[in-house]
Amino acid sequence: MPAYNAAKTLRQTFELVPGDVVDDIILVDDASTDNTVAIAQSLGIQHILVHDENLGYGGNQKTCYATAVGLDADIVIMVHPDYQYTPKLIRAMASLIADDVFDCVLGSRILGVGALAGGMPVYKYIANRVLTFFQNLMVSYKLAEYHTGYRAFSRQVLTTLPLSANSDDFIFDNQMLLQVISHGFSVGEITCPTRYAREASSIGGINAVRYGLGVVFESVVYRLDKMGFIESRYRASR
């Protein structure tokens, strides 16, 4: 769980995590200004790491994944503690990796009617569809969306990808997924109902614009790398 000011929703999220499937829960607090850490401790979360300063969403995930690998995790699932994605899908996502169906599984808000029905703003839905269409063309892949924050990975994915080369900002998610594809790992998607609320974290304003431009830039870099014009973080030796 990459956490930042998640005090209002952490308990709700934690209580839906299937204890019969999940062996360890890791929460990395990115210098929250609320009592996220105190609540995590009261819930008995086994592994709580606290950044002394805010490293950003991508920097938070780097700590999450490095910690999980250090604990010898076979399957790692990222679920945001802001209750936007339901932890009830953890069992299904984990099984798809455990049974060697996929190396990476995404909880997609776009498959079915989950996004708008769950309150996704129309402008965000449109931006999601436009960016995903563009990326599918540039990457020569086909996903319902590249922008979900609900993701499951096999251990091999996390120990193979050069995650340290990625940004510490929000674009980390997109860079990591492009690396998954460039390294030849299989990707599956399942429908994920989504809950948008004021207390849920979300990219907005200038950060949203920067993220959108970053997606376009990274897609072009990926394409140029695959065409042999440049070398980038997407060059795979696998």
Distance between CA atoms of 93 and 55, rounded to whole angstroms?
Answer: 28
CB 184 within 8 A of CB 104: no
- List pLDDT tens digits, range 99-110: 999 999 999 988
Residue 191 zone, left/alpha/beta (φ > 0; ψ -120 to 50; rest): beta
pTM: 0.92
Q: Could you tell me the residue ranges of all domains in the chain?
A: 2-226
- List pLDDT tens digits, range 156-201: 999 999 999 999 999 999 999 999 999 999 999 999 987 776 555 5
Distance between CA atoms of 188 and 103, rounded to whole angstroms?
Answer: 8
* CATH code 3.40.190.10 for 2-226: no
